Structure 1
Amino acid sequence: MDYYRFWQLLLDEISVAPKNGERRIVTFHDPRHYAGVLSEWRSLKSKRAGLKQVQVSTLIRAFVMPAAGAARLLDRFAESLNVEEDLRIQIHSIPGERVGTAVLPWGVKAIHAPQAWTRSTGVQVRIGVIDTGADYRHPDLKHSLTSGVNLLHRGMLPLDDNGHGTHIAGTLSAAGGSRGMMGVAPRALIYPVKAFDHSGSAYVSDIVLGIDWCVQNKMDLINMSFGMKTRSKALHDVVQKAYRSGIAIIASSGNDGKRGGDYPARYPETIAVGATDKRQRVASFSNRGPYIDVYGPGENVPSCWLREGYKEMSGTSMATSHVTGAAALLLALRPGLTPKELKLLLRRSSVPVRLRKGQRRVSLGGGSADAQRLLRAGTRTRRATAATV
């Protein structure tokens, strides 16, 4: 393969293509071709302004580039490339009402997080939250938020212009004390990864690059409260890479109220989360089915919001942040747990859930998350393992 010609063909198309147009994810059948193309890109990018529109995921050996350029490359190098459409993906939440305060939200109490705090508060567990960013001015989050990364505007803080990411961060690890909100794991560290814009929309490539960043920066957990109906090879590849590197991905199943669910939660390497209401029933909007690993509180959940406020929201997004918080409590005690072991412990320690009246009877998968039971199960497993060594 002529690597210089590869980039010259792309630059010819970029020069006439509209900015902010459609994108494609390009991978290579032969790793040697990827290495050669990457080396040439590194030598050219400082000289050719058009190559600033190209991004790289080293984890799955992929380039993200304008669609027109990818089509031209496919015409010329079809035997060497795989080109995937860069699909849109949405956050999983239903807007609610602003509320005055949220000291100890019902969901945090429902999973028995306060009872677990005598043993663990999630201290120093690193959580990558791939979302809309976070409100760094919120007083309940000032001890929890770290710098993270802004994939939409590199070099800028991942500031939240939607609210969804701030809500997720609050449930995960708000630490406002007696005058503010408390999240599930108040001493965990949140690394906001801003991949979603103000409307709660992102591209698959943004998620790929976000997971890539989380792996490179050694997160312990990744919270992904979003999804789409279509399977993506690039997204599955990067999820598998994170799984093999020892990072558990906890993903929301979607809000269609159906048997089944969205990707990436449907990938076997993730921990798939459904939502319950205040009566420990499957929420009317929640997807359900045998692939759901665990459920969490997801209906009318109050949490942190923009401009130092609070808001109720519903969705499997909210349920996912409760489960990720519970996982952080356990990982603070058992930092060596693999994603597979964490999933098994979440399922084994869960509490049975019920269907609402009129909901179609199907296999529900796992039960409802319980942080106190999870810590007991996790430490019992450690003692049993130690006894056999």
Structure 2
Amino acid sequence: MRRLLLLVLFLVGLWAALSNFKGLANKGEYSSIVLDFRDNLPTTVISEQLQAIAQKYNKTATLNSIFSVSDNIYTLEGDEQLLKALRHSPLKKFVEHIEPNYIYRAFEVPNDPDYGKQWNLRSINIERAWEDTKGAGVTVAVIDTGVSRVPDLQQTEFVEGYDFVNDKVNATDDNGHGTHVAGTIAQSTNNNYGVAGIAYKAKIMPLKVLSAGGSGTILDIAEAIRFAADRGADVINMSLGGGGESLVMKEAIDYAHQKGVVIVAAAGNSNRNAAEYPARYPHVIGVAATDLAGKKAPYSNYGAAVDIAAPGGSNEGKILQETIDPRTNQPVFMGFQGTSMAAPHVAGVAALIKASGISNPDEVLSVLQKSARTVSEDPFNHFGAGHLDSTAAVKLALKGKITWKDFFRWLRDNGYLNPRFWIDGGVVALLPKILMVIGSYLLYWFLRNYLGWSWSLNSGLILGSSGLFFLRGVYILDLPQWPFRLASSSIPELGNTIVGSPMLNPLFASVLIPFLLIALLLGHPKWKWFAIGTTLGVASCLAVSAVMSPAVLWLGTGAIARIFLIVNALLCFGLAYLASQGEKRLA
């Protein structure tokens, strides 16, 4: 009966949590609707449907641009009410998609024009990468507010782009954001003027999809992606984003990926536990931002869909490039910060990788991730694979395609085959966790004459010693991360798992919770085994932590912390021993 009651309470709690959970993605804003007619429809049928819309809703649908003709994609002004009406009308038989034309915005934080040091290029180790390649022969499409040929872009080669906002060929910048982004990728370098760019021998394809105010629709962005893919772009950078998933954009991204284009996008500036669109889509490299010290920038999104981290700047140090002042349209050197600034670092290094002989976009991503400088403690996935390293990426790319030998060398040098990595604390500290589990079972073995085996004892040993630690690196879009962090933590780690600190909380990493469990459950015929098993598991966890990585809040990481952990481990073992003695006498 008690089990049934507990199950009912669990299900009620789960239902309440899920019903109140709003998701991590913004719904997005829009003022127009996308009508993506089937490609095989005759023009007469499309015309009839457009006339029907005009008569019934008093709305006129128009082609988004001259590039929409072959794809039969139209747009019309409308809100959520009209969207619902169209989706339930006979029109749905003639279209592939009816969806919001979401508005995405440039990721930008207020800038400081007086900052004048390019610490960001040194932090990605660019100087040695330039010894091998400077990006010659690669074209990078900058899908943004346009790009203006400021003086420090005069020696950078441009290819023809397009202005999708105003439907014209000349995609000049009227905001400053896109020119700044293009400067990070390919600012003219070694010209005795201004600042440097990462892949400064690469070509820039300017594609304007954001207005002077820094916003634009997903339909313009999707068409720009296809434009870039059809006209020879090797890399696409999108320092923009917003809420709302679009099948039209997803199809454009898939199309470009199939044509071999590497697609990079900013993760977003909301300090939220998930990247925004388009970084969330498959085949897009989501980039988080770091500050001058290499830490997560205060604004940067993190968690699900973050693949790698790169310099984005903060108030202590911004990303300097030459751009235009939108008020005067004159060139100016300005410091910006944001994931918008982090993404072009990755796009620039992707251009270097492509120039080094790697053409497949999946292999480019593999090179970026395998060459990244790993971060040992990253419970919230602030950095994805780690910090961008251009020299390591080019070095790995010059070896040709990624082979099994390269893969195992990477495993050995950077992670899973390197025991020191685990001792120092890896993404999931496998070796200590296994030792904690083994240790708890060894303690149980010493007391086997007093204890009987049961599932409750077994679960207690795991909960006390390691938790379901293999869940720690799981990141799923639109699901909260805290249930995975809790499930992947042992009892001593519960005090620090939510805040993501490596320091154990002394209230949890002590004999206190095992003592309370023993006191409450010892008289229960089945749950007593859970309490005793948990106590032994905690003893093992504290003992292994004391030997391998003593780190306790308020006590530091030295001898005091080690003594505290050892004393509490012995107390837990003694408590379990006394409880088991009592069980033997009762038997």
TM-score, L = length of structure 1: 0.82
**Rounded Cα–Cα distance in structure 1 between residues aligned with 2:341 and 2:44:** 39
Q: Give deviations 1:243-296, integer Å, cap 9, x for gaps.
A: 111111001100111211101101121011001111111111111114311111
Other structure's SS at 2:224 match: helix
Out of 354, 357, 366, which is 2:385 matched to? 366
**Rounded Cα–Cα distance in structure 2 between residues aligned with 1:196 and 1:331:** 27
Out of 203, 208, 227, which is 2:217 matched to? 203
**Rounded Cα–Cα distance in structure 1 between residues aligned with 2:312 and 2:299:** 10
Other structure's SS at 1:308 match: strand
How far residue 85 of structure 1 moved from its aligned partner, in angstroms, is: 1.3
Other structure's SS at 1:96 match: coil
2:111 aligned residue: 96
Equivalent positions of 1:178-257 (< 5 A) are 178-257=192-271
Out of 333, 339, 345, which is 2:361 matched to? 339
**Rounded Cα–Cα distance in structure 1 between residues aligned with 2:361 and 2:44:** 31
Cα 1:383–1:353 change in 2 (3 A) is closer
**Rounded Cα–Cα distance in structure 1 between residues aligned with 2:44 and 2:142:** 28
Cα 1:180–1:233 change in 2 (3 A) is same
2:151 aligned residue: 139
Match status 1:149 vs 2:167: no
Match status 1:106 vs 2:119: yes
1:24 aligned residue: 33
How far residue 242 of structure 1 moved from its aligned partner, in angstroms, is: 0.9
How far residue 380 of structure 1 moved from its aligned partner, in angstroms, is: 2.5
1:309 aligned residue: 332
How far residue 38 of structure 1 moved from its aligned partner, in angstroms, is: 9.1
8 Å CA contact 1:25–1:86 kept in 2: the answer is yes
- Larger mean CA deviation between 193-202 and 82-91 belongs to 82-91
- Larger mean CA deviation between 145-154 and 344-353 belongs to 145-154
Cα 1:204–1:62 change in 2 (3 A) is farther
2:541 aligned residue: none
1:55 aligned residue: 65
Other structure's SS at 1:295 match: strand
Structure 1 counterpart of 2:33, one-letter code = R
1:11 aligned residue: none
**Rounded Cα–Cα distance in structure 2 between residues aligned with 1:39 and 1:333:** 50
Out of 135, 143, 147, which is 1:122 matched to? 135
8 Å CA contact 1:100–1:309 kept in 2: the answer is no
**Rounded Cα–Cα distance in structure 2 between residues aligned with 1:99 and 1:59:** 47
1:3 aligned residue: none
8 Å CA contact 2:115–2:335 kept in 1: the answer is no
8 Å CA contact 2:39–2:72 kept in 1: the answer is no
1:44 aligned residue: none
**Rounded Cα–Cα distance in structure 1 between residues aligned with 2:102 and 2:93:** 23
Cα 1:54–1:373 change in 2 (3 A) is closer
Cα 1:332–1:381 change in 2 (3 A) is closer
**Rounded Cα–Cα distance in structure 2 between residues aligned with 1:163 and 1:79:** 43
Other structure's SS at 1:65 match: strand
2:293 aligned residue: 279
**Rounded Cα–Cα distance in structure 1 between residues aligned with 2:131 and 2:376:** 30
Q: Give deviations 1:323-349, integer Å, cap 9, x for gaps.
A: 111111111111x52111111111110
Structure 2 counterpart of 1:181, one-letter code = V
Other structure's SS at 2:243 match: coil
Cα 1:107–1:24 change in 2 (3 A) is same
2:186 aligned residue: 173
How far residue 304 of structure 1 moved from its aligned partner, in angstroms, is: 1.3
Other structure's SS at 1:251 match: strand
Structure 2 counterpart of 1:371, one-letter code = S
Other structure's SS at 1:186 match: coil
Q: Give deviations 1:293-332, integer Å, cap 9, x for gaps.
A: 1111001111112122111111111000111111111111
Structure 2 counterpart of 1:372, one-letter code = T
Other structure's SS at 1:374 match: helix
Structure ranking higher in helix proportion: 2
2:397 aligned residue: 378
**Rounded Cα–Cα distance in structure 2 between residues aligned with 1:232 and 1:280:** 33
How far residue 66 of structure 1 moved from its aligned partner, in angstroms, is: 1.6
Structure 1 counterpart of 2:289, one-letter code = A
**Rounded Cα–Cα distance in structure 2 between residues aligned with 1:294 and 1:189:** 24
1:297 aligned residue: 311
1:270 aligned residue: 284
- Structure 2 alignment gaps of length 5 or more: 1-29, 48-59, 325-329, 407-587
1:330 aligned residue: 353
8 Å CA contact 1:59–1:212 kept in 2: the answer is no
TM-score, L = length of structure 2: 0.55
Other structure's SS at 2:335 match: strand
**Rounded Cα–Cα distance in structure 2 between residues aligned with 1:72 and 1:275:** 40
Q: Give deviations 1:167-186, integer Å, cap 9, x for gaps.
A: 10111101142322110111
Identity of aligned residues (%): 27
Structure 1 counterpart of 2:371, one-letter code = S
- Structure 1 alignment gaps of length 5 or more: 1-20, 42-49
Cα 1:124–1:352 change in 2 (3 A) is same
Match status 1:321 vs 2:344: yes
Other structure's SS at 1:288 match: coil
8 Å CA contact 1:225–1:320 kept in 2: the answer is yes
1:9 aligned residue: none
Other structure's SS at 1:369 match: coil
2:563 aligned residue: none
8 Å CA contact 2:306–2:381 kept in 1: the answer is no
**Rounded Cα–Cα distance in structure 2 between residues aligned with 1:375 and 1:56:** 39
Cα 1:240–1:384 change in 2 (3 A) is closer
**Rounded Cα–Cα distance in structure 1 between residues aligned with 2:271 and 2:321:** 23
8 Å CA contact 2:160–2:169 kept in 1: the answer is no
Other structure's SS at 1:140 match: helix
8 Å CA contact 1:222–1:247 kept in 2: the answer is yes
Give aligned pairs, total.
Answer: 349
Q: Give deviations 1:197-219, integer Å, cap 9, x for gaps.
A: 01100011110111111011110
Which protein shows a greater Rg?
A: 2
2:373 aligned residue: 351
**Rounded Cα–Cα distance in structure 2 between residues aligned with 1:219 and 1:97:** 32
Other structure's SS at 2:396 match: helix
Structure 2 counterpart of 1:67, one-letter code = E
RMSD: 2.9
How far residue 382 of structure 1 moved from its aligned partner, in angstroms, is: 3.6
User: Bigger relative contact order, structure 1 or 2, given CA contacts below 8 A and separation 6+?
Assistant: 1
